[in-house]
Structure 1
Amino acid sequence: MKPRKIPQRMCVGCQEMKNKKELLRVVRTPNGEVILDSTGKKAGRGAYVCRSEQCFAKAFKEKRLERALKQTIEAEVYELLRSGITNE
């Protein structure tokens, strides 16, 4: 039996390829809202970030998350995402 392929995604913070289950998905929904996707299946454009504070800070500082989602993100939304990352 052939082993199952494990999906890989790139973290927007550190630019490293990692297993999809190790990363958190941030989604821009079709109506323009930016939220944290814990299931990994919500509809919309997604970007992946490591579960570390450093990767998230780098993605915020260099606006990598904004580029990946193709939308500007307000500071309040960043704080909600940051609290979601530290809680998980």
Structure 2
Amino acid sequence: MSASPLEECAGCGDLRDEIELMRVVNNKGEVKVDPGSDLPGRGIYLCPQVKCLDLACEKNALKQELKVEITDELYESLVEEIKHG
């Protein structure tokens, strides 16, 4: 039995325990990683891998779910979070 709810990675589509995924949230226009999954706002889950971020961007999943343009600056900040998170 899982200790946390299952969520789907917006990139690869794998179902994983919420604690294994990285939540990205749009909180009043500010997009950031939500390590505790407790920030309010529209959120999306990703495996903490750059390939899943790339897949989510290719599918426009981040743009559609977070209702925000994915700029180069935002993309690079998410890559840094993945690398150092």
* TM-score normalised according to structure 1 size: 0.86
Distance in 1 (alpha carbons) for counterparts of 2:11 and 2:30: 21
Q: CA deviation at 1:71?
A: 2.1
Q: Percent identity, aligned pairs only?
A: 34
Q: CA deviation at 1:5?
A: 5.8
Say whether 1:58 aligns with 2:39: no
Q: Which has the larger radius of gyration?
A: 1
Match of 2:64, SS? helix
Instruction: Say how many residue pairs are matched.
Output: 85
Which runs of no fewer than 5 residues in structure 1 stay unpaired? none
Distance in 1 (alpha carbons) for counterparts of 2:46 and 2:3: 21
Which runs of no fewer than 5 residues in structure 2 stay unpaired? none
Backbone CA RMSD of aligned residues:
1.6
Q: CA deviation at 1:62?
A: 2.4
* TM-score normalised according to structure 2 size: 0.89
